[in-house]
Structure 1
Amino acid sequence: MSTEGMTHEELMALPVTVPLETANRALMIGRTTGYSLAKRGAYPVPLLPGRRGYVVSRYHLHRYLGVAAPEAGEASSEAA
């Protein structure tokens, strides 16, 4: 089964916290691998306890992936 990642726009539109499944997709980690890493304490970003399992902060995902929102007044690469 192939893992499909997220576009930059999808990453920027994430809520403040996301479930582990969404973080797995953003990091292009398969479901089984993601849950295994979380269980072993080896997930690539910090995990937070949620009501139904782990959640991941958007901040940590963005930081790990090296993505940032365009600065105010900065032209997007599509407009150039």
Structure 2
Amino acid sequence: MARKAWTAEELRAQGLTVPARVAFEAAGIGETHGYRLAKSGELPFEVLKIGRKYRVPVASLLKCLGIENETKVTA
């Protein structure tokens, strides 16, 4: 399945945080590998664990991707 190319505008429209799977997709990280990295604290962006779910602050994701002021995320 093809990955979605998220724009910074689309990510910001999600609110203050996005589900981890959205962050992985935007960063070009596979979901299984992404969750493994999240559990070990090795992702290059901030991850919040809320109950059993992982959320990623949009600002942290955009900063990590270096696209705070750009419009397209390409992974």
1:22 equivalenced with 2:22 (yes/no): yes
- SS of equivalent residue, structure 1 residue 45: coil
Taking only aligned residues, the RMSD between alpha carbons, in angstroms, comes to 2.3
Report the Cα offset of residue 41 of structure 1: 1.3
Does 43-52 or 55-64 show the bigger shift?
A: 43-52
Q: Give the gaps of 5 or more residues in structure 2.
A: none
Which of 1 and 2 has greater Rg?
1
Contact map agreement 1:5 1:28 (CA 8 A) in 2: no
* Percent identity (aligned): 39
Contact 2:46–2:61 (CA<8 Å) still a contact in 1?
A: no
Is residue 45–residue 60 contact of structure 2 (8 Å, CA) maintained in 1?
Answer: yes
- Structure 1 residue runs without a partner (length 5+): 71-75
Write the distance in 2 (CA, Å) between the matches of 1:51 and 1:24: 19
Match of 1:60 in 2: 60
CA distance in 2, matches of 1:48, 1:16: 12
Shift in Å, 1:34: 0.3
Shift of 1:17: 0.4
Q: Which has the higher contact order (CA 8 A, sep 6+)?
A: 2
Under a length normalisation based on structure 2, what TM-score does the superposition of the two structures give? 0.73
